[in-house]
Amino acid sequence: MKRLTLVFLFLGLCRYACSQNISQISKSSPLIITGAVGTQNTYRYSSLGDGFSSPMSNALYANVNVNLYGISMPFSFYYTNSTLDFDHPSVAFSLTPSYGYWQGFIGLSSMDFNNYVMNMSFNGVGLEYKDRNWHGGFFYGRLRNAINDDPTDPHSRSPQYKRMGWGFKAGYTDGRKYYADVYLLRAYDCLNSLDYTLRDMVKPQESLVLGVKAGYNVYDWLSVSTNLATSAFSTDMNADGLGTTTAFDKVFDTRYSTLSRFAGDISANVSLPYVNASLSYRLVQPDYTSLGTYYMMNNYESLSLSASSFLFRKVALSGSISRQSDNISGEQMYTTYGYVYNLCASSRLTDKLNVSALFNGYVQNQKDGMVDVDDAQRINRCMASYSIMPSYLFETTGLEHNIGLSLNYTENVNLNGNMVGESDVKTFAAGCSYGVDVESLAMNFTGSYSHQNTKGYSAEYTSDICSFTANRSFLSDSKLDASATLSICSNRITTGDNSFSLGLELSASYTLNKVHLFSANMGVNKYADVNSVVSGSNVKGTDLTMSLNYAYTFSLFR
C-alpha cells in the first residue's frame, strides 16, 4: 500500500507538470527556500522542590518551505526534552508538496474528512486533487503509536496498540448550487505492536466507516446540508468471525464483537436581508465509534435553532436554543434531557462607547428509562449566567485612553425539592481595566483589578487580583521592546485556607536586521498561607522561571 501511494503521488505530480506550458514553468524561480529556525530554553526553580517538572526545558525547531520551479514542499522539525527524565524526545516531520491541483502529504499530516468519519492527523503518505468541480484524495498511515510502558512504573501510561488506517474521499461541486462528497475510512490495531504481557489488559479494535456530506441551495435565501456516516466497529479483533463471504468481507472482517451504528445531522439555513437563521437536527446512536476520531459523544439527539440579526444599524443580536436528550435506544436506566440557550447583544452606541451583553444557561432534567427514577435522587438543575461588558475609548493631547468594565453573575441551582440548597453555587465576578498610550514616551501603561466571590452550601471563596503593566519601545523602528508586570493576588476561603502571592515578570525582545529575533523573560512569584494558625498549613514558597529564545527567518535564492 505504501509503494502504491508513492507511485500515485509521483504520477500525479508528473501528470500535472507535463500538462503545463514549459515556457510558463521556465518563468518560475528555479529554487526558493524560506522558513524559520529557532530555539526555546527555559529554566524553572521552586523552593518547594522540582519533582513536578523538569528544571530545564530545551527545544529546537525548524519550519522550511522549498519551492522548486513552483512545486512547494513545506517541511517542519521539532525536538524537545521537556519530559521529566529527559528520555522521551519527540521529532515531528511533515512534507506537503503541491503543484497546481495536486497536493501530496508525507509525514505528520491531516486531510479534510466528514467529522463523523475522521478528524485526527496521520503519519504516513497521501495525495489530494482539487480543481473547480472535482476533488478527491486518499491516505495511508499511522493514526497512533503503541505504548509499551512497564506497568510497575508508577508513572506508566495505559498500554495501547499501534493503530494504522487508510481512507479515500471523492466529491463534486458546481461551485454555486450544490456539492456532494463520499468518504471511506478503514482503521485497525496492529496485534504484534503490543508486548504479549500487556495484551490481556486491552483489546485490539478495528472499524470501517462510510460517510456522506452534501449541500444544496434551494433558493438564494435557503440552503440545506447534511453529514451522515455509518460504522462497523469491532470491540475485539480476537473475537471469532461470522464466516460470511460477501464483498464487504474483503475490506473488513465481521466478528461477533462487531457493532453497526449510525450518526448524522441535517440542517436548513435561511439568509434574509436582516435575519440569518438555522434549524438543525443531530442523532448519534449508542456505541457509534470511528477509530479516526479523537473522541465523540454518542447515544444522544438534539434539535437546535439559531438566529442572528442587525437592528437599526447599531445593535447586533444573536441567539440559539437546543433541546438535547440521551438514551436513544431506551436501554439505559434513566433518560436525561434538557435545554441549552443563549442570547447575545452588542452595540456601538457612539464612536467611543461600546456595550456587549450576554445571557446563557441550561435546564437539565431526568425521567424514567428502564427503571423508575427515585424522586429523591432525580436530576433537576438549572444554570443561568448574565454578563455585561462596556468599553470606552477616547483621546486627549498625546494620550490614548481605554477603559473597560465587566460584570458577571452566575447561578447554578438544584430544583429538586429534596435537595434544596445542598449543591447550589452562586458566583459574582467584576473587573475593570484602564490603559493609556503615551505617544511622546513610546510607552503604554495598563492597570487592572478583578474580584470574584463564590458561595456554596457550606463554604465561600473570594479572590482579588490586581496587576500593573508598563511597556516601552526603544531604538529606531521599535527594534527593542521591554515590559514589566507586577501582580498581587489574595485568596480567602471560609475554612481558613487564605493565601497571598506577589509576582513580578520582566521581558525584553530585540529584532536585528529584521530576521533575527532575540527574547528573554523572567518571572518571580512568592506565595504564602497567611492564616496558617486556622488552616494548619505553613506553606511558603518562591517560584522562578527564566527563558531565552531565538528565532531566525530567512529567504534564500529569491
DSSP track, 433-501: EEEEEEGGGTEEEEEEEEEEEEE-SS-EEEEEEEEEEEEEEESGGG-EEEEEEEEEEEEEETTS--EEE
Whether the per-residue pLDDT at 88 is higher than 60: the answer is no
In a domain, 258, yes or no: yes
Vertex 437, ends 432 and 440: CA angle to 5°? 155
**In terms of residue numbers, what domain contains 237?**
158-291
- Report which secondary-structure segment, H or E, holds 352: none
Pairwise CA distance, residues 44 & 58, whole Å:
12
User: What is residue 100's predicted lDDT score, i.e. its pLDDT?
Assistant: 86
In a domain, 278, yes or no: yes
Contact 125, 2 (CB under 8 A): yes
User: What is residue 519's predicted lDDT score, i.e. its pLDDT?
Assistant: 96
Whether the per-residue pLDDT at 458 is higher than 60: the answer is yes
* Residue for grid cell 508538496: 97
In Å, how far are 92, 96, 124, 170, 395 from 3, measured between CA atoms? 22, 18, 12, 21, 65
Vertex 172, ends 169 and 174: CA angle to 5°? 160
Pairwise CA distance, residues 70 & 98, whole Å:
8
Pairwise CA distance, residues 430 & 388, whole Å:
10
Contact 546, 521 (CB under 8 A): yes
- 379 versus 402: the higher-pLDDT residue is 402
pLDDT in tens, 418-449: 776 678 899 999 999 999 999 888 899 999 99
In a domain, 226, yes or no: yes
The dihedrals phi and psi of 291, each to the nearest 5 degrees, come to -75, 5
Comparing CA positions, the residue from 491, 487, 489 lying closest to residue 503 is 487
State whether residue 3 is helix, strand or coil. Answer: helix
- Per the structure, the count of domains in the chain is 1
Q: Which pLDDT band holds residue 346 (cuts at 50, 70, 90)?
A: very high
Vertex 545, ends 541 and 550: CA angle to 5°? 180
In a domain, 386, yes or no: no
HSE-CB at 459 with a 13 A cutoff on CA atoms is 9
Contact 371, 334 (CB under 8 A): yes
Q: Return the minimum-mean-pLDDT range out of 67-71, 230-234, 353-357.
A: 67-71
Whether the per-residue pLDDT at 228 is higher than 80: the answer is yes
Q: How far is CA 539 from the centre of its chain?
A: 35
Q: What burial class does residue 19 get, using C-beta atoms within 10 Å of its C-beta: 0-12 exposed, 13-18 middle, 19+ buried?
A: exposed
Q: Which pLDDT band holds residue 51 (cuts at 50, 70, 90)?
A: low
Judge if pTM exceeds 0.85.
no
State whether residue 208 is helix, strand or coil. Answer: strand
In a domain, 208, yes or no: yes
Residues 6+ apart with CB under 8 A from 257: 234, 235, 236, 237, 239
In a domain, 244, yes or no: yes
In a domain, 172, yes or no: yes
In a domain, 235, yes or no: yes
User: What is residue 29's predicted lDDT score, i.e. its pLDDT?
Assistant: 67
pLDDT in tens, 34-49: 999 999 999 988 887 7
Whether the per-residue pLDDT at 177 is higher than 50: the answer is yes
Contact 442, 471 (CB under 8 A): no
Pairwise CA distance, residues 44 & 48, whole Å:
12
Average pLDDT of the chain to the nearest whole number: 86
Region 351-372 average pLDDT: 92
